[in-house]
Chains A and B, each alone.
Chain A
């Protein structure tokens, strides 16, 4: 695997389910990011991690819970989501926080029913 990978690519979940999104970067980067892209809206930055420490949390509801166990892996734990949370969730990484190019994974398209 190269670059940034995300699993699953598609996810359908009910409002009472708990699921997790996984991101892995193979670039040796120290910063990782979660973004949300809703239909007809710009990308929204959700969380930023630098060397496994959260450095940014942009007023994201607590039903989204990030986890960064090491600098290569990032998770987004989901529980009791709402239909308006249906969106494309993108993971990205860069050498350091906001330094250098950001590389994006293919995304997880989430549908909440």
Chain B
């Protein structure tokens, strides 16, 4: 089945710093999602990005499908950016088709 790996697992920043989160996947995919899980547990959709680059405010994402990776950029980070960032791709795992999640990057932004 497809494997999804995210790096780094943990990231601590000072407010105002920039960061790049990475998502590697082991097989070709036709879509990819980035989520932010806030401290209350809600998964918030950030990007639906099968390929190319998208921007939304201080966040942007780039997926290079041919090289099987995606990057999430956070600029001028704020304390409200803290939480866990997941990427997810459709694939087969354990014999079942599903949206396969990486283990996430836990981001802490300090004031």
Residues of A at the B interface (CB closer than 8 Å) are: 37, 42-43, 45, 48, 56, 58, 88, 90, 92, 97-98, 100-107, 109
List the count of A-B residue pairs having beta carbons below 8 Å apart.
49
The distance in angstroms between the C-alpha atoms of A43 and B40, with both chains bound, is 15
Q: Are B41 and A109 in contact (CB under 8 A)?
A: yes
Residues of B at the A interface (CB closer than 8 Å) are: 31, 33, 35, 40-45, 48, 86, 88, 90, 94, 96-99, 101, 103-104
The distance in angstroms between the C-alpha atoms of A37 and B43, with both chains bound, is 11
Shortest distance between the CB of A4 and any CB in chain B (Å): 10
Q: Are A102 and B40 in contact (CB under 8 A)?
A: no
The distance in angstroms between the C-alpha atoms of A102 and B35, with both chains bound, is 10
Assuming the A-B contacts A42-B101, A43-B101, A106-B40, are A101 and B94 also in contact, with contact meaning beta carbons closer than 8 angstroms in the complex?
no
